[in-house]
Chains A and B, each alone.
Chain A
Amino acid sequence: MAYHSVREAIAALRRAPGLAILSATSIGLSLFVLGIFGVVAYNLEVTLQAVERRVEVVAYLRDDISAAQLEVLQNDVSSFPEVENVSHVSKFEAMRNAIQQLEEFHDVFTDLEMNPLPASLEVQLRPDFRDPTSVARVAELIALYPFVEDVRYGREWVDKIYQLRRLGGAVAAILGIAFAVVAILIIGTTVRMAVLARREEIAIMRLVGATDGFIRRPFLLEGFITGLGGGLLALLLTYAAFLAVDGSLIDLEWVPASWASGGTLAGGLLGLAASGAALRRHLTTYG
């Protein structure tokens, strides 16, 4: 049974290579649009993540904080579920950083008789807790400690990044679904053409008493192979487009291997699903 399905699927592809190439190309071009969209979406995500990694809460400490109090504060803050990392910046380190980062004020800093910069705790948050609500909550909790002078976290740009991420997510979802629907429609039409081209063969199978399952299997396999071919073509085209743009127009990152292999496999699965739908319709229409 499996032997027959595999042999028939391969034989069908060899008997009508033009139709198979047309189907694979049409699937490939549909998925290519999705692939380009995937690269753009991935790079937007990478950029947003890089910005988000810089979201941190800085707690400025009173000068009279004792070592024991500092240890308690560090331990407490580290144990917050939102917190990824806590690092202490002493008054001396704060001054050294200021001198390094603000070279134009080098003389001002070195002329000071005493160090006016406070020590601080720099608190980095876990990726899932970089939204405005979580950041504000952590800041409020830290501010409750009496030996904390002030807490800063750049409320405005945290809000903006978060809005941008939500907007990006919504646009990506809508566009992704729209492109996927278009791809499915094109693939469905292509496979339906292939099924119609072989309607006589299907009619004869039914005439001689083949079960629906037996009729479907070679077509499903053929749809999967064609879809996989289309997926590989889309991968090649997307990579070629990536190479053409990367470095010359804009610096891009190539999508992870799981995205590339998942996309190619999705081509196969789309071919399989489109074949299944076209056959289902055909088998019920031509009882």
Chain B
Amino acid sequence: MIKLINVYKEFPRSGLALKNVSFHLRKGEFAFLTGPSGAGKTTVLQVIHMAERPTDGEVRVSGFSSRRIRRRDIPKLRRRVGMVFQNFRLLRDRTTAENLAFALEVTGARRSEIKGKVQRLLAQVGLAARAGAYPEELSGGEQQRIAIARALIHDPVVLLADEPMGNLDERAARSVFELIRDINASGTAVLMATHDLDLVRRYSQYRVIELTEGAIVYDSGNSDGVP
């Protein structure tokens, strides 16, 4: 479903960010992407989201290839790949419900379907009662839940999470992680970048892909022959 094949990514100023990265994330799989700061975790997520194109190699996501995808098809890919960040990235001048509705409106959803879908997603992330609250009125954990709801709005096949609990206290972090696990349990694959090794050890049943200086140094789930 997501395949990185010998991916290199070089930035003009900072140099080589990814070196010969290859892995295959299967449908419904949960994988941690670990490694120290600057190891290339965020760049891996960006090449999957096609916010960055590989300098060499190929990224395949749900039928799209980084080698062949046209600029106008990238929005279609992004509707199949949900993404959340450490800093939530909610629009501060819109309510919780408006933040979710916005993601539907800008992708051309019909007005009749927006309200129902927003309510369903708010219920799914446990924030149905906070529909009218602005982001600054929510706790960090609640804001991340809204960001996750927004990432799920187009029923993606995979959720990419870039240090989603990095800004949260322990209790909020646990609750957000449980939500992400629930989402995975319902069939959505998850690729979660984190440098929280305690979390990775605690959930040792999940696959771990470890990066150091842009290269994969360990992959607990590389068993299907991808080089």
Q: Which residues of A contact B (CB under 8 A)?
A: 1, 3-4, 8, 15, 200-201, 203-212, 214-215, 287
Smallest Cβ-Cβ distance to A207: which chain B residue: B83
- Is B78 at the interface (CB under 8 A from chain A)? yes
Pairwise interchain contact A208-B107, C-beta atoms closer than 8 A? yes
A15: which B residues are within 8 A, CB to CB? 93
Distance of A213 from chain B, by nearest CB (Å): 9
Pairwise interchain contact A208-B78, C-beta atoms closer than 8 A? yes
Interface of A is mostly: helix
Pairwise interchain contact A209-B79, C-beta atoms closer than 8 A? yes
Query: Besides the contacts A203-B89, A209-B79, A209-B154, what 13 more A-B pairs have beta carbons closer than 8 Å?
Result: A8-B105, A200-B91, A208-B79, A208-B103, A208-B150, A208-B153, A208-B154, A209-B75, A210-B107, A212-B75, A214-B107, A287-B51, A287-B52
B89: which A residues are within 8 A, CB to CB? 200, 203-204, 207
- Is B108 at the interface (CB under 8 A from chain A)? yes
Contact check: which of B72, B93, B105 meets A4 at CB < 8 Å?
B105
What are 19 pairs between A and B in contact, CB < 8 Å? Answer: A1-B108, A4-B105, A8-B105, A201-B91, A204-B91, A204-B102, A204-B103, A206-B75, A208-B79, A208-B103, A208-B106, A208-B154, A209-B77, A209-B107, A210-B106, A211-B107, A212-B71, A215-B106, A287-B51
CB-contacts of B69-119 with A (<8 A): 71-72, 75-79, 83, 89, 91, 93, 102-103, 105-108, 111
A211: which B residues are within 8 A, CB to CB? 72, 75, 107
Distance of B115 from chain A, by nearest CB (Å): 15
Distance of A94 from chain B, by nearest CB (Å): 79
B51: which A residues are within 8 A, CB to CB? 287
- In the assembled complex, the Cα of A3 lies from the Cα of B111 at a distance in Å of 10
B52: which A residues are within 8 A, CB to CB? 287
